[in-house]
Structure 1
Amino acid sequence: MTDFYPPSSSITGVIGEEVILPCYVVPENIPEIFSVQWIFNAKSEKITVSTYNGKNKNEKQDEKYQGRTELFHSEFKTGNMSLHLKNIRSSDKGLYTCVVSFNDEYHDELIELQVGGGVPSIFLRSPKKQGIGLTCHADGWFPKPEVIWLDGQGQIRKELSTTKVMMMPSGLYSVLSSMNLIPGSDMEVSCRIVNSLLKTMSESRVLISGEKRKEKKGKERKGKERKRKEKKREEKRREEKRREEKRREEKRERKKERKKERKKERKKERKRERERERKRERKKERRKFPITANPECQLLELQVPGAPDVEDNVCEPAGMSSPSTVPVLVAKEGFASGKHYWEVDVGQQQDWLLGVMRHKGKQEEQGTLAGEDYWALHRSKGEIFSIKENISLEKKEMNDSVIGVLLDLEEARINFYEAHQMTIMLKISISLGKEPTEMFFPFLSKGGEADTPVIHPVLTPVPLEPL
Structure 2
Amino acid sequence: MVTGPDSLYVTLLILLHSLTSESVKFEVLGPTEPIVAVAGDDIILPCYLKPNISVEDMTVDWLNLDFMDEHVYRYQNGRIIQEDQIHSYRGRTSLFIEELWRGNTSLKLTRVQGNDEGRYKCFIKSNNWYDDVSVQVLVKAVGSRPVVSIEGHREGGMGLVCQSEGWHPEPDLVWLDSKGVSLSAEPPETHRDLKGFYTVKQHVIVQETDTNLFTCRVLQKQINEDFETKVHIPSELFDYTTPWRLSFIVSCCLGVITVIASALTVYCIHKKKGKHYINV
TM-score (norm 1): 0.38
**Structure with bigger gyration radius:** 1
**How has the CA–CA distance of structure 1 residues 17 and 202 changed in structure 2, closer, same or farther, with 3 Å as cutoff?**
farther
Q: Pick one of 77, 80, 93 that aligns with 1:59.
A: 80
The answer as to 2:223 corresponding to 1:202 is: no
**Quick check: 2:175–2:215 contact (8 Å CA) kept in 1?**
yes
Letter in structure 2 aligned against 1:159: L
**How has the CA–CA distance of structure 1 residues 19 and 150 changed in structure 2, closer, same or farther, with 3 Å as cutoff?**
farther
Q: Pick one of 31, 38, 57 that aligns with 2:62.
A: 38
**How has the CA–CA distance of structure 1 residues 87 and 183 changed in structure 2, closer, same or farther, with 3 Å as cutoff?**
same
The answer as to 2:118 corresponding to 1:97 is: no
5+ long unaligned stretches in structure 1: 211-467
SS at match of 1:75: helix
SS at match of 1:127: strand
Choose between structure 1 and 2 for higher RCO, CA contacts under 8 A separated by at least 6 residues. 2
- What is aligned with 2:269? none
* Separation (CA, whole Å) in 2 of partners of 1:138 and 1:158: 18
**How has the CA–CA distance of structure 1 residues 2 and 144 changed in structure 2, closer, same or farther, with 3 Å as cutoff?**
same
Q: Pick one of 189, 197, 218 that aligns with 2:214.
A: 189
TM-superposed CA distance for 1:9, in Å, is 4.5
- What is aligned with 1:72? 96
**Quick check: 1:140–1:173 contact (8 Å CA) kept in 2?**
yes
**How has the CA–CA distance of structure 1 residues 103 and 120 changed in structure 2, closer, same or farther, with 3 Å as cutoff?**
same
The answer as to 2:166 corresponding to 1:140 is: yes
* Separation (CA, whole Å) in 2 of partners of 1:127 and 1:133: 5
* Separation (CA, whole Å) in 2 of partners of 1:120 and 1:104: 52
Percent same amino acid among aligned pairs? 27
TM-superposed CA distance for 1:168, in Å, is 4.8
**Quick check: 1:165–1:173 contact (8 Å CA) kept in 2?**
no
The answer as to 2:36 corresponding to 1:18 is: no
SS at match of 2:72: strand
TM-superposed CA distance for 1:8, in Å, is 3.8
SS at match of 2:105: coil
TM-superposed CA distance for 1:10, in Å, is 2.5
- What is aligned with 1:178? 203
Cα offsets for 1:236-277 (capped at 9, x unmatched): xxxxxxxxxxxxxxxxxxxxxxxxxxxxxxxxxxxxxxxxxx
**How has the CA–CA distance of structure 1 residues 31 and 15 changed in structure 2, closer, same or farther, with 3 Å as cutoff?**
closer
- What is aligned with 1:50? 73
Q: CA RMSD in A?
A: 3.1
SS at match of 2:48: coil
Cα offsets for 1:409-456 (capped at 9, x unmatched): xxxxxxxxxxxxxxxxxxxxxxxxxxxxxxxxxxxxxxxxxxxxxxxx
**Quick check: 2:191–2:198 contact (8 Å CA) kept in 1?**
yes
TM-superposed CA distance for 1:41, in Å, is 2.0
Letter in structure 2 aligned against 1:194: L
TM-superposed CA distance for 1:50, in Å, is 1.1
**How has the CA–CA distance of structure 1 residues 183 and 32 changed in structure 2, closer, same or farther, with 3 Å as cutoff?**
closer
5+ long unaligned stretches in structure 2: 1-24, 236-280
* Separation (CA, whole Å) in 2 of partners of 1:137 and 1:116: 19
TM-superposed CA distance for 1:27, in Å, is 5.2
* Separation (CA, whole Å) in 1 of partners of 2:177 and 2:98: 55
SS at match of 1:205: strand
TM-superposed CA distance for 1:145, in Å, is 1.9
- What is aligned with 2:12? none
Structural mapping, 1:186-335, within 5 Å = 186-208=211-233
Aligned length: 205
TM-superposed CA distance for 1:79, in Å, is 4.1
TM-superposed CA distance for 1:169, in Å, is 5.2
**How has the CA–CA distance of structure 1 residues 169 and 19 changed in structure 2, closer, same or farther, with 3 Å as cutoff?**
same
**Quick check: 1:41–1:47 contact (8 Å CA) kept in 2?**
no
* Separation (CA, whole Å) in 2 of partners of 1:31 and 1:120: 44
* Separation (CA, whole Å) in 2 of partners of 1:202 and 1:173: 15
**Quick check: 1:134–1:179 contact (8 Å CA) kept in 2?**
yes
**Quick check: 1:12–1:198 contact (8 Å CA) kept in 2?**
no
**How has the CA–CA distance of structure 1 residues 77 and 196 changed in structure 2, closer, same or farther, with 3 Å as cutoff?**
farther
